[in-house]
Structure 1
């Protein structure tokens, strides 16, 4: 195990010079960039810039890609990242579906796989599936092991990131998802460095990468699904609290004497109890039990509870009762979102997860509610987005977190 820990830190030593790290960071944010642009943005002298670029070329992380357009003098040399220098796996460990992807250094997705998190998808089984698939991809692409930068994991919290442990997450269908030493287990199986972060943090890293040309300084990511998950970036850096704060948004109290949380650990009247997948399922089934008419009654077997997939199907058919419930949940979500905006004032908010991807009604109701209740609107303007990577955002972000270790 000690050897793997040492190798994990060696990722940061692949580019040994601080100036080379800074320059590589700038190059990596562009598909191509000219030497003249790097000279202007880096503040380096031409001799230092040339020396550092030569260092990066000799390492193999960048290459000359041709000549740019002339602006009156010599045509400038263009540089780009060499995607084949290294590769990273990204693993999304979530309650409903888990995903694995393979990225190259340029951020291109080469492979992707997913697994339903059924009642028999224990940690042991999922890790076995992930390790087996990773080995298949390494063999299929003929990748030498020293070209694997590592694997990033974006998982449901709470986590101990430093120890690499998934601690006590709730609502996994399979048993055994408590105190899982996932970093150690995968490092020992694959012999590559592994790092762990929560899924919302991974997702916002992916969205920041997708928006890297726009230079948003302050971003929020909110994942609406089985629970509500939150992450923040400021000046392109993840914001970490004293504890893993991924689920804190869902525990925001919006009605102190309101609905009890579904476990003894949560707050009465918290947002999760009004605006999550669980909350929508609970409210729809309650209305069905008291005899409200709905298309769901034709979809379900006698006594079968309505699940989120049924509810979304009925919503697409414009079922009045379901539309009412989803609109109400989205309105509550928008109130919680407005509270965040009134405190943090981000430039962009990315909304992900099944509540957003499966329902335009939820997304637009929530964002319009948030805008109406934002204190400094219209002077303060925020951009809302469903994101660039859809359901793969966490896995992509996890791989990018691993690749970012090169410039740390």
Structure 2
């Protein structure tokens, strides 16, 4: 019988193989203080159970070529769900985090929690049927959601800007666990997005990272020593309340004056351009009612190089750069990962934000973090939610 301590070691060995990709026994012995014979027995046991597989032979250093191991992608499966304000995304993944099936839903005013739970449950059953997977072979579902959250209780509390009015104190983990008869875990979407991006960048061996999502509001997550930084409360959108201009504009009644979100968010950008149109500024949008201007029409106008829209996107990006510099100067990350609709709208946004961030980073260029746009794009939150479930798995 496997003891608790052996289970712990087995999970640690699995995590290390998963992180490194392909390894030999000698590679693993660099990380674990167990004997060579114990490692051999453990690898043989894990291979017999199908948790890992032999992937070939390594290069010889004078003796026999070493056996190489990797995790078995089809040993179990994972579900990742992103619950956001504009779209929600569900993915089915293998143990290598390859997406097997993906679907998304528009979060309009009809997408209540009850309807989304129905849609997700139906999609899960469809995914499993299509791939011939039993529900017992799924480790569980991870959820990355807009906060604030009660993570331990699995509750989405009072998120702002949801089109449907009933997203308040939603016991999302309980609802989905009862429907699917599987373990469901919740974290905020910025954290799971960073988990996903960290997984995608695992060959870089990143220990300290910052993730910033610019969209309906500003969401952020940070990692130190390879672990997500967590505070006493879960308020992922709080970075949007960073004051960057004393006595500046206010986006909402409960927000700070001069807060970052009043300069860098989709609602703030839409409102500024509507105001400019109302006072008579010329634009390719002049032929439509300012009240009908939304983010999609703004992106189209930016693609047409409209001067007014380009000016406002550039200003938004510059303020994003200021917010990034403040975070970088406080957290000193190795990597800065940028995602969200604003960042992805046009190269102008990313280029301008990085230019301003670098100019305002203390000791730049001696200290120069690596900047990158999200590698996983719209799938970052869902992928990271699946990563969370794999990390929570006990190895059995």
The reply on whether 1:256 has 2:246 as its aligned counterpart is: yes
From 359, 362, 367, the equivalent of 1:375 is 362
- After superposition, what is the alpha-carbon deviation per residue over 1:61-115, rounded to whole angstroms, capped at 9, x for unaligned? 1112222222221011111111111111100000001100011112111000000
The reply on whether 1:104 has 2:94 as its aligned counterpart is: yes
User: Post-superposition shift, 1:15?
Assistant: 9.8
Distance in 2, Cα, partners of 1:70 & 1:242 = 51
- Secondary structure, counterpart of 2:175 in structure 1: helix
Contact 1:22 1:407 in 2 (8 A): no
- After superposition, what is the alpha-carbon deviation per residue over 1:316-348, rounded to whole angstroms, capped at 9, x for unaligned? 111111111111111111111111111111010
Structure 1 outlier segments of 4+, above 4 Å? 13-16
Superposition pairs of residues 20-35 of structure 1, within 5 angstroms = 20-35=10-25
- Secondary structure, counterpart of 1:17 in structure 2: helix
- After superposition, what is the alpha-carbon deviation per residue over 1:4-34, rounded to whole angstroms, capped at 9, x for unaligned? xxxxxxxxx9996222122111100133212
Distance in 1, Cα, partners of 2:227 & 2:258 = 32
Q: Which residue of 1 aligns with 2:67?
A: 77
Distance in 2, Cα, partners of 1:191 & 1:118 = 28
Distance in 2, Cα, partners of 1:248 & 1:406 = 30
Q: Which residue of 1 aligns with 2:303?
A: 316
Deviates more, 1:160-169 or 1:56-65: 56-65
From 72, 77, 89, the equivalent of 1:87 is 77
Distance in 1, Cα, partners of 2:116 & 2:141 = 15
In angstroms, what is the RMSD of aligned CA positions? Answer: 1.6
The reply on whether 1:167 has 2:157 as its aligned counterpart is: yes
The reply on whether 1:201 has 2:188 as its aligned counterpart is: no
The alignment covers a number of residue pairs equal to 393
Superposition pairs of residues 351-390 of structure 1, within 5 angstroms = 351-390=338-377
Contact 1:232 1:238 in 2 (8 A): yes
User: Post-superposition shift, 1:304?
Assistant: 4.0
- After superposition, what is the alpha-carbon deviation per residue over 1:249-301, rounded to whole angstroms, capped at 9, x for unaligned? 10101112111232x22111100011111111011000000000001124x3x
Q: Which residue of 2 aligns with 1:273?
A: 262
Deviates more, 1:310-319 or 1:45-54: 45-54
196 and 14 in structure 1: CA distance in 2 versus 1, 3 angstrom threshold: farther
Q: TM (normalized to structure 1)?
A: 0.93
- Secondary structure, counterpart of 1:196 in structure 2: strand
240 and 171 in structure 1: CA distance in 2 versus 1, 3 angstrom threshold: same
172 and 76 in structure 1: CA distance in 2 versus 1, 3 angstrom threshold: same
From 181, 188, 191, the equivalent of 2:181 is 191
The reply on whether 1:282 has 2:238 as its aligned counterpart is: no
Distance in 1, Cα, partners of 2:4 & 2:155 = 26
User: Post-superposition shift, 1:156?
Assistant: 0.3
Contact 1:25 1:407 in 2 (8 A): no
Q: TM (normalized to structure 2)?
A: 0.96
Q: Which residue of 2 aligns with 1:180?
A: 170
- Secondary structure, counterpart of 1:188 in structure 2: helix
Distance in 2, Cα, partners of 1:355 & 1:177 = 24
Q: Which runs of 5+ in 1 are unaligned?
A: 1-12
